[in-house]
Amino acid sequence: MFYLVWALLHLAVFAAASQISFTESAPDYNFTTLDLSSLSEEEFTVLEHPQFPSYSVRIRQTASGFCDPSVKSYTGYIDTSASRHLFFYFFESRHDPEHDDVIFWTNGGPGGSSAIGLFMELGPCRVVDGNTTKVNPYSWNEKANIFFIDQPIGVGFSYADLGETVSTTEDGAKDITAFVAIFFETFRKFKGRGFHLAGESYGGRYIPVYASAIYDYNTVLKEAGIEPINLKSVMIGNGFSDFTTMHPSTYDIMCTPASVEPFLDISTCVYIKTAMPRCMKWFKESCIDIFDLISCNAAVHFCNTMSFFPIIAAKRNPYDVSKECSGPLLEESLCYPITKDITQYLNRPETRKLIGIPPKFDNATFSNINYTVHAAFGASQDENRIQTKFYLENLLDRGVRVLIYVGTYDGACNWVGNHRMVNSLEWRDSHTFVQKELMPWHVSNSHEKTPPAGSVKTAGGLTFLTIEEAGHMVPYDKPVEALELVTRWLNEESFY
């Protein structure tokens, strides 16, 4: 969620791209392993890893009444020696926590808290109002153990003691890689389990980079005699992974029946159609051929005036163009009043005590999106310094499965642009994938005459799937279909 907010707020300040590398080293030593059930509900247990001497993880068990009484849950922090602290929630599977796979989930933004995913979309519970929650029967922990992480630094309940910041996804990947390694090495019962990285919106940028960092670091773990992470797949919902396909496709959403009936006037559509080639030419010259921050910022702003801005001017909800926006887009609601309930719920002292939020936040108001982090990523043009789709191509060529799923009503990260993006990928089975036609898919046990849940095509390790009448947050709009698609994906079942 929230990619559109970045488009509206991006600034022109340079931050150089950094490569993912770990230079830390430490001598081998006997590593302590723990049982999750042994964790205290009152105090944090600190976890460490020989390969990451500058990192540790604090974790504690939450009281049984939190979110979903039927499963065990945990909260904690990823800590660095540089005084950065990333907050996370972890829920065991309702089905078989001793054998089920593990999912890592992050929301987008950049700067968006994963509390949105937890309490609004796919978590074990949803907020009823600002004071209570109810169990979500369509949570993705039906068949998987799952993390929700507030990242990068400064998002949600994550914080930095000395004001450190992260402004690129490649830098953020270091913290995530360390956390994953420490967790799997400490809680040995999860070692070897299938691991899946998932996210939405700007997660289309985060997830491919984080997965690539974990994959590459597996080589280092092997050399140290440590079992590597069993990275099975990435799952991206309504992601923004490629500017060159996403921006031109907003014309299809606003001016053709690709999603809903056209909602812009003809003269505006003609202007957009005429000017879009100039936008893309400028973008290619300033952001791809040669990355020039000032010129790239100007090109992106020009493109936004004919892609995202008209959706706002038309008073449509950019995350579901079939509806008008409920409340101001750039305030806490982001067109969805339920997000205000999440904010109120996480500002309650009782909730904060339950999940172990430190006293540092006693006088701080929780926010679903950190606009300082948001602006820092926009200032560095993080999305456009490096083409994210190159990470997806490399993951596919190394056997990591990729699922791209998209709600057809989303205007911010629309299905047309995502379809064009997957068709543009160059990998070993790309020719076969491109030749495939979109076919209907149905939920399990649905009647043959029931309208399909969406369309799908797949080849090799890549699957592209749409969900009819869903917006940007598919699990919120279509919880049954969302659980169906993730269950089939985890089980490696066909969508046809």
Residue-by-residue DSSP string for 332-390: TTTT-THHHHHHHHHHSHHHHHHHT--GGGTT----SB-HHHHHHHHHTTHHHHS-THH
Q: Which of 49, 196, 247, 472 is catalytic?
A: 472
Residue found by looking up tokens 């997830």 in the block = 207
CA–CA gap between residue 317 and residue 146 (Å, rounded): 29
- The active-site residue out of 158, 201, 212, 286 is 201
* Tokens representing residue 367 in the block: 């926010």
H or E segment and range at residue 453: none
Q: State the Cα–Cα distance between residues 304 and 288, nearest whole angstrom.
A: 17
Q: Tell me if residue 472 is catalytic.
A: yes
Given a contact cutoff of 8 angstroms between Cβ atoms, the answer to whether 389 and 425 are in contact is: yes
Distance CA 124, CA 99 (A): 19
Round to whole Å and give the CA distance between 230 and 214.
Answer: 10
Upper half-sphere CA count for residue 379 (Cβ side, 13 Å): 14
Structure token digits, residue 36: 């999750």
Closest C-alpha among 61, 68, 66 to residue 187: 61
From 175, 410, 455, 477, active-site residue: 410
The residues facing 87 across adjacent strands are 77, 150
Residues with a catalytic annotation lie at 201, 410, 472
